[in-house]
Amino acid sequence: GEDVEQSLFLSVREGDSSVINCTYTDSSSTYLYWYKQEPGAGLQLLTYIFSNMDMKQDQRLTVLLNKKDKHLSLRIADTQTGDSAIYFCAEETGGYNKLIFGAGTRLAVHP
């Protein structure tokens, strides 16, 4: 089946690194995505990783993928107050290529 799970809440101090974790179930997933949602706003694509990759870095963002354990993580370096938002992990399932989302991790950044 298709299921994506995330921890629901993370609190970090400004300037520290944040690590948001995600597990997924579909071993045929092609791409895995991270989206960001700020209050009252739509979903914004942050980054993605191909299922054959282990790591991808994009400025302050680092995505790690452990395909054997179906575990995905998003690390945000030097976290800022503007990073406070809900972060969604999503797997692109095989076949018709649709996104299946986790429940989201609410990131709170405090001074």
DSSP 8-state class, residue 94? S
Q: Using the rule CB under 8 A, which residue among 41, 69, 82, 111 binds other proteins? A: 41
Residue 1: alpha-carbon gap to chain centroid? 20
108 lies in the site for other proteins, by CB under 8 A: no
Q: Which is nearer to other proteins, 3 or 78 (CB)?
A: 3
CA 85, chain centre distance (Å): 12
For residues 36 and 48, the answer to whether their CB atoms sit within 8 Å is no
Near other proteins by CB under 8 A, which window of 10-18, 30-38, 60-68, 71-79? 30-38
Question: 39 is written with which tokens?
Answer: 């209050």
**Smallest distance, Å, CB 86 to other proteins?**
9
CB of 12 to other proteins, least distance (A): 20
Helix (H) or strand (E) holding 89: strand 85-92
Taking the least distance from each CB to other proteins, the nearer of 78 and 108 is 108
